[in-house]
Structure 1
Amino acid sequence: MMKKLLILPFLLFALKTSAQPGEKEAALLVVNQVFEAMRTNDSTLLKKCFVSEPNTFTAFIDKEGKSRLVEGKFQQFIDAVGQPKEQVWNEPIWNEKVEIDGNLASVWVDYAFYVDDQFSHCGVDAFHLIKQEGEWKIFHLVDTRRRSDCEIPDDIKP
């Protein structure tokens, strides 16, 4: 009986802090919509995935071997995605990890970026989302980029 009483607070804590059923899928859906917007040049869909002024960054190692962090301009991203182009920007993802606490979600994914079927780079995308008025929205995105040491699963490659 004493063991059961000791376990009860931990169970209540776990229930309180865990995501509601379907929340992880809902947060991941928003992330997948970003990649769909990129594939289809849909800047309207892209904007719907984000808060009005999100932070975006890229972390990489430069040619001199130094660690760099560059802030992106979200409007430039919107413009680039929405611009008509003959090539398809395809960014397949795998190893999705989603963590949620209340109205905060973190989504971490491995990715490979292709222009049509031509490999460009790989890395990790790390998204932070906030749930407001019943919808998940991205407020922070940072990605890494590299052209080597990419372990891309065969089923991801074009």
Structure 2
Amino acid sequence: MMRSLGMALIVGAGLALPDRLEAQDQRSAVMAVVDSAMHFINTGEVARLSDLMTPEAQVYAASTRSGQPGYRMRTAESQRAAGRRDPIIERGFAPDIRIAGTIAVVWLPYDLYVDRAWSHCGVDVFTLVLVGEHWRIANLTYSIEQPPACRVHPDGPAPGTRGTPPEP
């Protein structure tokens, strides 16, 4: 009886291992898309960023101006038409990755510098869908804020930048 129970536990543990490995592979695949998106955002290659998106994808920028919350929206198509823009420094940190079957969400706090000077911080929220064997961005929504409404990068200011975030 004990031997049968031991074998069942070994076999059961072996069956669970591929599921854990597959889950880790999926997390890695999702983060590879997000990392690529961050690279293209930083280098100003917005047309290449749209290559990571579904054709119907949308990008929302949410912020508060003059006390009024609002947003701007672009489509993947308009993103592609923009071509290039000047490089920036956007640093994401502490990603929270959630995957359920063919959808994934990555919550990624970030800080951002323009012309090597502090601009803002916020959260990027990437919603991805599995298309065939590839993860694609269906939506990217990001907030534009100042501390204390958002967190600055735990490593402090980006190397080679000037200015610091406002004190909370």
TM category (shorter chain) comes to 0.7 to 0.9
> Which portions of structure 1, spanning 4 or more consecutive aligned residues, are displaced by more than 6 angstroms?
none
Which residue in 2 is equivalent to 1:100?
Answer: 99
The within-5 A match list for 1:63-102 is 63-64=66-67, 66-68=68-70, 70-74=71-75, 75-80=77-82, 82-83=83-84, 85=86, 88-102=87-101
Q: What is the deviation of 1:142?
A: 1.0
Question: Matches of 1:101 and 1:117 in 2, distance apart?
Answer: 38
Aligned-partner SS, 2:24: coil
The within-5 A match list for 1:1-158 is 20-64=23-67, 66-68=68-70, 70-74=71-75, 75-80=77-82, 82-83=83-84, 85=86, 88-149=87-148, 150-154=151-155, 157-158=158-159
Aligned-partner SS, 2:41: helix
Q: Which sits farther off after the overlay, 123-132 or 139-148? A: 139-148
Structure 2 unaligned residues grouped into runs of 5+: 1-14, 160-168
Q: TM-score normalised to the size of structure 1?
A: 0.75
Q: What is the deviation of 1:44?
A: 4.2
Q: What is the deviation of 1:19?
A: 5.8
Report the CA distance shift for 1:101/1:131 in structure 2 as closer, same or farther (over 3 A). same
Report the CA distance shift for 1:124/1:84 in structure 2 as closer, same or farther (over 3 A). closer
Q: TM-score normalised to the size of structure 2?
A: 0.71
RMSD over equivalenced CA pairs, Å: 2.9
Report the CA distance shift for 1:67/1:44 in structure 2 as closer, same or farther (over 3 A). closer
Report the CA distance shift for 1:24/1:41 in structure 2 as closer, same or farther (over 3 A). same
Q: Which has the higher contact order (CA 8 A, sep 6+)?
A: 1
Conserved? CA contact 1:19–1:102, under 8 Å: no
Structure 1 unaligned residues grouped into runs of 5+: 1-11
Q: Count matched residues.
A: 144
Structure with greater Cα Rg: 2
Question: Matches of 1:151 and 1:112 in 2, distance apart?
Answer: 6
Question: Matches of 1:156 and 1:22 in 2, distance apart?
Answer: 32
Aligned-partner SS, 2:23: coil
Question: Matches of 1:28 and 1:78 in 2, distance apart?
Answer: 22
Q: Name the amino acid aligned to 1:102.
A: G
Q: What is the deviation of 1:156?
A: 5.9
